[in-house]
Amino acid sequence: MLLAIDTATHTMSIALHDGTQLLAEQSWQAGKRQTTELAPAIQRMMALCKATMADLTAVAVSIGPGSYSGVRVGVAFAKGVADAHHLPLVGITTLDTLAYGQPYFQSGVGLITIVEAGRGKIIVQAYRWRKGMWHSRSEPRLMTWQMLLDTIDGEAYVTGDISQDALELLAKHDNVMIAPGAHWLRRAGYLAECALEKLRAAGDDQSAFAPANILPIYIQGDIS
């Protein structure tokens, strides 16, 4: 059983996955309450599933980018669980989790995932559809919304942290298609499935998933 944790932004999400199907998932707007709400939420979820920490075989955590404090809360908690129970720990980025949950749109349309960075800034990553899934075609970049619009050179499907002001700005761009609101949410169920794919691909060599190897990702820069 895999426990997945995402506290990287004001939206939190947790999930339990048995390797075949999602057993439970909860996502909610936590604001800055990640520290106080994470452990009780996990305890309630495990109780509903009649599971204990001893049933876990792996842990997955969102490693950012996102809120500095939010990312650290989830990573620290996940490391504590993985260390205490000698479990592999898989780190997945917020942007990859967003991409994993998006459907194929249509040929030639790229995907852009967005995480809010504060003060009018966003963190952006572009993806292309190949062999049945979205693959990144750029590194995460810190931008403003206008910078993003200026870089779009083809049809793009946009999802993630989209404010009302940004929604109105994006709607004016002929080449931008905005995902339905339900697809903006980073779900820990998708985080879990991303992590399971990595664990299976690694086979017997799980050394890359030692908790000490998992570090938060922060995207910094000076833009105006």
43-47, 95-99, 175-179, 218-222: lowest mean pLDDT where?
A: 218-222
- The predicted-structure confidence for 97-132, as pLDDT tens digits, reads as follows 999 999 987 778 999 999 999 888 999 999 999 989
Classify 95-184 by CATH class.
alpha beta
Q: What is the pLDDT of residue 104?
A: 87
Alpha carbon distances (Å) from 142 to 23, 66, 223: 35, 11, 8
User: What's the average model confidence in pLDDT over 87-99?
Assistant: 98
For the structural domain made of 2-94+186-213, what CATH number should be given? 3.30.420.40
The burial of 212, by beta-carbon neighbours within 10 Å (0-12 exposed, 13-18 middle, 19 or more buried), is given as exposed
Q: What is the pLDDT of residue 119?
A: 86
The burial of 32, by beta-carbon neighbours within 10 Å (0-12 exposed, 13-18 middle, 19 or more buried), is given as exposed
The amino acid occupying position 86 is H
Provide CATH 3.30.420.40 ranges for the chain: 2-94+186-213, 95-184
Instruction: Kindly tell me if the per-residue pLDDT of 224 is higher than 60.
Output: no
Q: What is the pLDDT of residue 118?
A: 86
Q: What is the pLDDT of residue 194?
A: 98
Mean pLDDT across the chain, nearest whole number? 95
Q: What is the pLDDT of residue 107?
A: 78
- The predicted-structure confidence for 127-149, as pLDDT tens digits, reads as follows 999 989 999 999 999 999 999 99
